[in-house]
Amino acid sequence: MPGACGLGLLLALLLPPVVSASRPGTVFRLNKEVLSYAVEAGKAPLQRALQVTVPLFLDRSGGVFQPTRIQILNVDVSHLRLTFVADFGIRLLAATNFTFKIFRDPEPLHLLLPIALLADTSVEQGSIGTPLVSISSCFSIFDKAIVFDGRNSTAPAMLAPLQSHIKAVLKSKLCLRISNLVQGLNVHLGTLIGLSPVGPESQVRYTMIDTPTITNDYISLDINAVLFLLGRPIVLPVDSTPFVLPQHMGTKGAMATVGLSQDLFDSVIMLMQKAGALNLDITAQLNSSNNPLNTSVLGQLIPEVARQFPEPMPLVLKVRLGATPTVTFHTNNATLRLQPFVEVLAPSSNSAFQYLFSLNVVVNLSLQLSVSKVRLRGTTSVLGNVQLTVASSNLGFIDTDQVQTLMGEVFEKPLLDHLNALLGMGIALPHVVNLQYVTPEVFIQEGYVVVSSGLLYQR
């Protein structure tokens, strides 16, 4: 039994790398509320991006070519709208005012040019499993320029050719700038496939596995988790039925709705079990008042212990999870069922440990899930009684009822502390760099979990 943890690791290493499509499913749904947030967050970057340079204008109005410098003083995106276009992608509509300064003699001229921008972008599955946004069409529509100052009564002859010059330049440059923004966004979305730790030695990577589903209300990405143990992807014998997140789940009006399949939880728990992360040794110090784990206490329940250990000795409980714990989701409740095998040992004369007896334990835990930053964390508490049966004994007959209370007591707290520390680290939800889940809510459904959340982008 002491080699169980090592064996688990070895087995995991011997498993072939991921080849099949059977990976635990997750659905990441961005609702239209996220577009309002993107408008808010995206206005300033868009304004900056649209500040292009305009080449010199050759003014011919005076009879000779007069190179005239043009500067964009300000870009005001007064109205920005993003909408989902069903089965296609996202449409951007921006109403802007460009203010130009024309450096002409004898005094500069200021122009206000209203420009409407329209860009349609498709959202697809990129080759490396990241979302890929690309511009399929982009237009700029120019309104009449308004001359701010200068001698507007005698509209300069240069005005018409000047406007044509500006339009010709902006027509290509503005769409190019929007395209650059989208490229930057793609690089950012690419961080979806970054590795995140799950537990000791184990990691998760999310990849998109399908074309996104786009409706007028949301964009839904099917994402699979690939789990890694010691840096190697592993295949887990899990259900390969694709996970489908029903519509209208979670909180209405939340920016993101994330559906996490039972499969994902089974796989993560299995990974932890295989990695030996769930195993623990419970040891006690003699003279520690809060841990009644010694032979004199046990000797009162099992006379044979008292006979073999006339002097009080500390005991060791080796807790090993041979069977994978099972997670069950029912509406509004999640439970985790553990069936650890517990060996009870005592120090023997030759500084080794002497095996006393072993127990098969069943413990039902209630699992509470919460999200902080980008991680889904769990805490557990014991549901009902810890159930014990004696597996084998070196001490002859052991009355289970006799040891039940003591073992339950010494076993429960360290086990919970251990599990809660582990599950408290949490598993990263699908995310990209600089994006956090805010005001998240977790809903337990029959067979899956839904996280409803706002999103916060912070550099």
Comparison of 88 and 148: residue with beta carbon closer to ligand NAG: 148
* Distance of closest approach, residue 91 Cβ to ligand NAG, in angstroms: 18
Comparison of 58 and 286: residue with beta carbon closer to ligand NAG: 286
Other CB atoms within 10 A of residue 183 CB = 13
Comparison of 28 and 98: residue with beta carbon closer to ligand NAG: 98
* Distance of closest approach, residue 414 Cβ to ligand NAG, in angstroms: 14
* Distance of closest approach, residue 74 Cβ to ligand NAG, in angstroms: 11
Omega cis (within 30) before 242: no
* Distance of closest approach, residue 410 Cβ to ligand NAG, in angstroms: 9
CA distance 56 to 68: 5
Nearest CA among 432, 448, 93, 99 for reference residue 260: 448
CA distance 296 to 180: 74
* Distance of closest approach, residue 332 Cβ to ligand NAG, in angstroms: 7
CA distance 163 to 67: 15
Angle at 270 between CA 206 and CA 387, to 5 degrees: 145
* Distance of closest approach, residue 264 Cβ to ligand NAG, in angstroms: 20
Nearest CA among 202, 227, 230, 225 for reference residue 10: 230
Comparison of 186 and 387: residue with beta carbon closer to ligand NAG: 387
Give the binding site for ligand NAG (CB under 6 A). Answer: 76, 78-79, 95-97, 112, 114, 149, 152-153, 286-287, 289, 292, 294, 296-297, 312, 330-331, 333, 337, 362, 364, 366, 383-385, 387
* Distance of closest approach, residue 38 Cβ to ligand NAG, in angstroms: 19
CA distance 450 to 104: 62
Comparison of 236 and 293: residue with beta carbon closer to ligand NAG: 293
* Distance of closest approach, residue 407 Cβ to ligand NAG, in angstroms: 13
* Distance of closest approach, residue 145 Cβ to ligand NAG, in angstroms: 11
Other CB atoms within 10 A of residue 459 CB = 4
Comparison of 87 and 409: residue with beta carbon closer to ligand NAG: 409
Q: Which residues contact 401 (CB under 8 A, 6 or more apart)?
A: none
CA distance 212 to 89: 9
Three-state secondary structure string covering 43-105: HHHHHHHCCCCEEEEEECCCCCCEEEEEEEEEEEEEEEEEEEECCCEEEEEEEEEEEEEEECC
Buried b (16+ CB within 10 A) or exposed e, 69-94: ebebeebebeebebebeeeebbbbeb
Comparison of 52 and 133: residue with beta carbon closer to ligand NAG: 52
* Distance of closest approach, residue 34 Cβ to ligand NAG, in angstroms: 24
Please give the structure tokens belonging to residue 263: 């499969």
Q: Distance of alpha carbon 245 from its chain centroid, rounded?
A: 17
* Distance of closest approach, residue 312 Cβ to ligand NAG, in angstroms: 3
Comparison of 104 and 274: residue with beta carbon closer to ligand NAG: 104
